[in-house]
Structure 1
Amino acid sequence: MTIGRILFATDFSRHAQTAYLYALSLAQAHGAGLDILHVCCEGDWSEEDSEACTRLKAEFSAYAEGQMARYQAPLKAAITDVRTHVVFGRRASQEVARCAGEWGVDLVVAGSRGTGGLKRWIYGSTLDRMLKLLSKPVLSVTERPDLAVDPADPATYVRFQRILVPVDFSECSLSAVRMARGLGTPAGSVIQLLHVLEDVFPIGFDVGMVVPFPNFHEGRLAGARQRLQTVADGLAGYAGTVTTEVVPGVSALEILDRAQEGGSDLIVMGLHGRDFTGERFIGAVTDKVIRHAACPVVTMTCPLECP
C-alpha cells in the first residue's frame, strides 16, 4: 500500500505532540505530503452575528495559527510538502473525516487520550467517532514522553522495526497485513502474524452438554496454522522477516501480551464491526488494544461488503 499523503489531526495537547512525531516520521520515510489539521469546535455562540463572536472566532484562529507555526518550523529541511489548516465545525471527528475524504489522504494520524469510564461510555471519545466515520487507515498514538525524536533531525525519526499483525482471516485483517508491509523499513522490518484461537467447545446434541471430542482442538490449531502460513506466503519477496504464531486464548489479552513480550513498536489490525444500522462500531478487541497497547495502533477499515 502506497502512502502519498498523511493527515495529522491535532488539538495541541501532549498526546497530539507524540502523534505529531509519528506523523512526520512516516511522511519523511514515505516521501509523503503532510496535512496538519486543527478543528475549532463551534458552540451555540458561533451562530450569533455579533461583534463579540466575530472577535472570539478571530482569537481562536490566531491562537491555532500560532500553534501550527510551531509544528511547521522544524520541518522545512525534512518534508517539503507541508500544509496547515484551521477549520471551524460542530464536531472535530466530522471535520477530520470530511477533510480526509476531500484531500485524498492515505493515512490519518491522531493522538489517543485513553479516555475510559462513564464519561467515555456516555459521550464516546473523539477518536472513537473518527474511527466510525473514517474510511482511511488510522494510526492511534498514546502519549510517550520518552520518545526521543528531534523534528529538525530526520536521523532521529521513528522507524517501525517489529510490527505485530493480528489475523482473523477476514478481509480487514488481510488488508492489515498489506498495510504492515508498506509501513516496514526499506531494509525490512519483522512482521509478526498472530492468530488467536478463541476457546470453542463442541456440544453433544444427545445430552446437551460439553463433550471432549478427540483431537478437536488439535485439528483447529493445525488448520489455523496452515491458513496463517498461507497468509505469510503471500508476503513472498518482502525484504524483512515474517513470523507466524497461533495461540489459544482471549484475543485482546494475547495480542497485548505478544506485543509487549515481542517488543513490537506497532500493531496493525482490522476494524470491521458494524451495528444493526450498518454503521461501523469499535469491537471489544480493537477497543482494548487501542486503549491498552504500549505502542501505536493502526486500524484498517473493512469494506462495506465485508461481514
Structure 2
Amino acid sequence: MLPFKKILCPTDFSEPACKAIRAAGELAETFSAELILIHVVGPVPVLETPTGLAGFDVAAYQRELSDSAQSSLQMRLETHIPKSVNARSLVVHGEAAHEIVRVANEEGVDLIVVSTHGESGWRHRIFGSVTEKVIRHAACPILTVHLD
C-alpha cells in the first residue's frame, strides 16, 4: 500500500475539489508519485421534439465540454500542483463514479484523493454522492478531503 506510486484525483472544478487537488499534489510530491487529475463529462441530456433535435449537434457539444474540461484541468495542474510532480490530466465521458473506478483500475492507481462535497440538494438525492459510490466500488484506498 505505501508508498503510493500513482494517485488519481477526480475533480468537478468546485472549491472542495480544488482543495482535494492541492492535497493530492502534496501527497504526490511527498511520495514521488505520479498524479492523474480526471474530470468526467456526464451524458448530455437531450430532449427530442416532434421535429427532431432542431440542429443540435450532440457530438460537437460533447467535444466542446471535453475541450473546456481539458483546459480547466491544465490550469489546475499549473496552479495547484508542485512543478516537481509528474502529473497529467484525463477527460473521460460517462457516469462519474463508474468512470473514476474504471480509470483507477485500468491505471493501477494506489490511492484516490476525492472531496467529500460535490452535488447537494435534489441532485444528491436523485443521483447519490459520487464519493460514496467510489468508496463502495474502488479496489484501492480512498482519501476523502473535507472542505473545512
Q: When the two structures are superposed, what TM-score results if normalisation uses the length of structure 1?
A: 0.41
Alignment-mate amino acid for residue 253 of structure 1: H
Query: Structure 1: how far apart are the matches of 2:8 and 2:89?
Result: 10
Rg larger in structure: 1
Q: State the match for 1:262 in structure 2.
A: 107
Q: Aligned-pair distance for 1:184?
A: 2.3
Q: State the match for 2:32 in structure 1.
A: 188
Q: State the match for 1:243 in structure 2.
A: 88
In structure 1, runs of 5+ residues without a counterpart are 1-146, 148-157, 277-282
- Sequence identity percentage: 34
Say which of 176, 182, 185 aligns to 2:20. 176
Query: Structure 2: how far apart are the matches of 1:236 and 1:299?
Result: 18
**What do you get for the CA RMSD once the two structures are aligned?**
2.3
> Contact between 1:267 and 1:296, CA under 8 Å: does it hold in 2?
yes
Query: Structure 1: how far apart are the matches of 2:43 and 2:98?
Result: 13
Q: State the match for 1:218 in structure 2.
A: 63
Corresponding pairs, count:
139
Q: State the match for 2:141 in structure 1.
A: 296
Q: When the two structures are superposed, what TM-score results if normalisation uses the length of structure 2?
A: 0.82
> Contact between 1:186 and 1:239, CA under 8 Å: does it hold in 2?
no
Query: Structure 1: how far apart are the matches of 2:51 and 2:101?
Result: 33
Query: Structure 2: how far apart are the matches of 1:169 and 1:209?
Result: 36
Q: Deviations over 1:55-81 (max 9, x none)?
A: xxxxxxxxxxxxxxxxxxxxxxxxxxx
Alignment-mate amino acid for residue 259 of structure 1: A
**Structure 1 residues 239, 218: CA separation in 2 closer, same or farther (over 3 Å shift)?**
same
**Structure 1 residues 235, 199: CA separation in 2 closer, same or farther (over 3 Å shift)?**
same
> Contact between 2:20 and 2:115, CA under 8 Å: does it hold in 1?
yes
